[in-house]
Amino acid sequence: MARVLLGAREPCARVGRCRVSETKDFSLGALLSLTTGLMLSKFDEMHECAEWVAGHPIWTHEFASHALNVSLRDAVLAQHPILAGADVDALRVDLAVSDDKEATCRDWIASEARRIKSDTVTLRRGTTERTQSPLETLAELAPNKPIIPVVF
C-alpha cells in the first residue's frame, strides 16, 4: 500500500497545480534490478517498482527497450544516488565462477544492504506520461509483423 505524505507537495506539469507526493517501499533487490540491468528480485517485484517509478503501466515487452531501461535507472538514481556505488562488476565476476548463482546474488544484495544500511528503499511515485501506446511500442520491436489485438 502506498504511503501518502500529507502536506508534501510536488509541482505538477500543469502550471498552478500541485499533487500530494506518494511514496512506497521496495526491496533493495528490485531497485538494483532496475539500476544494474540484472534480475536480482522476482520479476513481479521489479515490474511493480518500474511502474511506480515511471508513474504509468509498463507492458512486459517494453522492458526490451534500452531507452526505457535507461530512464528507469536514471529515475531511481536521481532519488537514491548511493545506489550508483553498487559494485556490479564484482557481482558479474562472482557470477561467472559461481555454482550457486542465486546464493551469489543474495549475498551481493546483502552486502549492498549493509553498505547503504537498509534492505528496503523508499521511492517517490513517478509522474511521466506515456508518449506511445503499448501497441505502438510493440510495433517498434517487431516491425513489419502483424499485431492482432485480442479483446476478451
Q: Name the residue with higher pLDDT: 148 or 7.
A: 148
Q: What is the mean pLDDT of the chain?
A: 88
Residue 151 lies in a domain: no
CA atoms within 13 A on the CB side of 140: 13
Residue 146 lies in a domain: no
Residue 148 lies in a domain: no
Spatial strand order of the sheet with 120-124 comes to 3-11, 18-27, 120-124
First-residue to last-residue Cα distance in the chain: 29
Query: Is pLDDT of 5 > 50?
Result: no
- C-beta separation of 14 from 28 below 8 A: no
Per residue, the 3-state secondary structure of 57-80, as one string, reads: CCCHHHHHCHHHHHHHHHHHHHHC
- C-beta separation of 125 from 8 below 8 A: no
pLDDT score for 2: 41
Query: Is pLDDT of 1 > 70?
Result: no
Residue range of the domain that includes 21: 3-141
Q: How many Cβ atoms from other residues are within 10 Å of residue 39's Cβ?
A: 13
- C-beta separation of 53 from 72 below 8 A: yes
Amino acid at 15: V
Count structural domains, the chain: 1
pTM, whole model, 2 decimals?
Answer: 0.81
Residue 152 lies in a domain: no
Q: What is the pLDDT of residues 7-53, one digit of tens each?
A: 334 444 444 455 556 999 999 999 999 999 999 999 999 999 999 99
| Alpha-carbon span 34 to 70, nearest angstrom | 9
